[in-house]
Structure formats: structure tokens, C-alpha cells
Amino acid sequence: NAGVTQTPKFRILKIGQSMTLQCAQDMNHNYMYWYRQDPGMGLKLIYYSVGAGITDKGEVPNGYNVSRSTTEDFPLRLELAAPSQTSVYFCASSRGDRVVEETQYFGPGTRLLVL
């Protein structure tokens, strides 16, 4: 299994541009998550999904959109990039068999720089 994969690894955007961060998992996990990690600030949840067609906001959803059309894929969309969105973005997944006691598996991350 490849686990959780993310593309691209690194991207530079100009203010106002849009882009989609791709995330895929091949573990047949029901739950998927998007986090952003700013230096010294830990991980903040942007959006999550408990299954295909179901998404919900996390702690910091403003400026982002997600969709979950399949179990495997969970893309994150930035419509109008702003410097405040410069960060490292991690996608993660978990089995979803039980709501509690879920181990999350993280992708390698996408480093985004907005200038």
C-alpha cells in the first residue's frame, strides 16, 4: 500500500490564484482530514470527511473548500490564495470503524508559499 499520498510536494502561488491540493489513500479508510501546520503552532484541522459525499468544517475552514466524491480522494481547494495561507498542508486518514480510538495516518505534506 502507498498509504496516504499528496501532490504537489511544493508550490508557489501568487496572491489571488487558485489551486487544488490532491490527497489520496489506498487503505479503504472512511475518514479523511486536512490539516495545516504553521511553524510552532501544531496542527489545525481545516476540513474532514467521514465518508464519500460527507464533509464538515474543522477549526480553520475559511478560504478553503473540499469535496469527497470517492472514498479514496479528498482534494482541498484554495480559491483566492492569500499570504496567510502559506503553510504546510497535511492530509490524513483513519479507518472510521470506531469513532473513538482512531489512529490517523498522515501524508507527506504539501508546502505552499503564497507571495
| Residue 42 contacts another protein per CB under 8 A | yes
DSSP state of 104: P
| Residue 9 contacts another protein per CB under 8 A | no
Beta bridge partners of 89: 36, 110
Residue 62 or 101: the one with the smaller Cβ distance to another protein is 101
Report the residue from 45, 64, 69, 112 that binds another protein according to the rule CB under 8 A: 45
The C-alpha angle 85, 28, 75, rounded to 5 degrees, equals 25
Residue 68 or 109: the one with the smaller Cβ distance to another protein is 109
Report the residue from 93, 109, 112, 114 that binds another protein according to the rule CB under 8 A: 109
Taking Cα atoms as reference points, which of 19, 25, 30, 31 lies closest to residue 6? 25
